[in-house]
Chains A and B, each alone.
Chain A
Amino acid sequence: MAIRYLRRYEDRDRMNHWFIALMFVLAGLSGLAFFHPSLYFFSALFGGGVWARILHPFFGVIMVAAFAVLFLRLWRENVFTPADREWVEHSADMLRGNKAAMPPVGKYNAGQKGVFWLMAGCLAVLLVTGITFWQPWFANSFPILLRRLAVVLHAASAVGLILGVTMHVYAAIWVKGTIRAMTRGTVTEGWARQNHPLWHREMTGKQ
């Protein structure tokens, strides 16, 4: 029997996703260079410390702008529903690989929704705090105490974002058949039936 595919993402969403991913790597590496001395060597990838400092905020702002477009297209499907609570209660079963214990989910499960909102929240904090100490453009307009606080929040939300992306990437590697949703825009019907049965039903009209 031939494998049937279901469309999960439009091409424009996939291209936007990969553009965000690229900007995440660039902003992430240039930012980590200043995060801890052990990571300063990343600045060499950008032509040295000064260039990493100059480029980092531009990578960040471009990433946030691209994410904002993705956010507007996906946020409704990521709103938590009462059914998500049951999934969260069974998340330990999920991690043990006992997928049979998991309640049926729609297009996104509660874990995916959580990562979505974590990324959106962290990026919003990164943008707002980052502007307050962006040298030489905006930093001098803000009081020093605010900038001290902003530097800490910026670094903390960067850690949140990196942990969120780590979960996101790991889940895509772990659940086989997922990556083609972003490389081809389609998933197999079997993948949908197993991992997102309510979405599968919605897409095919089948039980």
Chain B
Amino acid sequence: MSAVAPSHAGPASARMLAAPRVRRPGRLLLAILVLLGMAPPAYLLQTGGALTTGYEIQKLERERTVWINRNQQLEVEIARARSLAWVEHEAVNRLGMQRAQNPVVVRVDAPVPPPAEPKLLRRGGEPMPAIPAEVGPSWLDAIDYIATALGRGN
């Protein structure tokens, strides 16, 4: 308790001038002890937090993969619904259409529109495998984390 600095100036200044070398090592030692004492729980706290986040990320990535896969399945369904086989099946079976016996082709001088087929299942929308988390924090990272936390506390 004697190592605690007085909150007021004046007479205390005189006391401090009288025995400065005795008190400073004590405070320093205490600070070191506090720091050392806080290091393991802080590290554990940070590691635990990172671990939880890691699992959370992994879970989200799994969910993301499921949704990407589902999206691709739907794209295949769309492509299937746009396939000529399906269109013909619908035209013949549902709409009762028949092939024209004498087709009449009228040619007009109009520019040919580009194919409006959307680029289904092309590159860009493909699922990526779950991206793994970074490598776990090192001791140096932990010390740096504690130092930063303490610095913020000051």
Query: Are A and B bound to each other?
Result: no
Instruction: Name A residues whose Cβ lies closer than 8 Å to a Cβ of B.
Output: none
